[in-house]
Amino acid sequence: MNFLEERIIKDGIVKEGNVLKVDSFLNHQMDISLFEQMGEEFKKRFEGKGINKILTIEASGIGIACIVARHFDVPVVFAKKSKSINIEGDMYIAEVESFTHKCKNQVIVSKKFLSPEDHVLIIDDFMANGCAMQGLISIVQEAGAKVEGIGIAIEKGFQDGGRIIRNLGYDLQSLAIVESMDAATGNIEFRAQ
């Protein structure tokens, strides 16, 4: 087991409905030292890809993306989930479904911050059905930029997202892939990597 799998076993809580609560260290309270380890690991896995920008999506992707960005020495752009009066002008827009909130959102990125010269690493905390990720990929494509890699903290391997995105040829690296969880026993099985 790697550092993140160990932490999930220690502090993650399995709930009914295939919900994995990791809010004590990942997506409500955030353990910055853990994020640093994730940054080091992603840096190793995406070394030499010429990454010049990290793209993530609000809200819980932002913290990880910012700490990871230190290891690549690049800026972070975060996609926003609703139109704000502070965003104007041309925007890339993708429609995404949210598993957690059971609704559809528009995800937007200002055209100023993604261009054909960009070599993008997409970072997020979770991947389940991959809808948010598909939206982010479509935004990078629309900008004419290149997705050099996708780094996820926790992938729910029993849902479709990861398989679809790997089938599309993307270099998707998840630090922990949960194969199965059992709310009754609290047991969590990870995919061997």
* Contact status: 187 vs a second copy (CB under 8 A): no
List 75, 117, 166, 189, residue binding a second copy (CB under 8 A): 75
List 3, 113, 158, 170, residue binding a second copy (CB under 8 A): 113
92-117 burial string, b = 16+ CB within 10 Å, else e? Answer: bebebeebeeeeebebbbeeebbeee
* Contact status: 19 vs a second copy (CB under 8 A): yes
Rounded Cα gap, residues 75 and 173, in angstroms: 20
List 46, 78, 92, 190, residue binding a second copy (CB under 8 A): 78
* Contact status: 127 vs a second copy (CB under 8 A): no
Give Cα separations from 157 to 78, 129, 144 (angstroms): 25, 9, 30
Q: What angle do CA 189, 57, 10 make, to 5 degrees?
A: 30
* Contact status: 104 vs a second copy (CB under 8 A): no
- Enumerate binding residues for a second copy (CB under 8 A): 19, 21, 23-25, 27-33, 35-36, 58-59, 62-63, 65-67, 69-70, 73-78, 80, 82, 84-87, 100-102, 109-110, 112-113
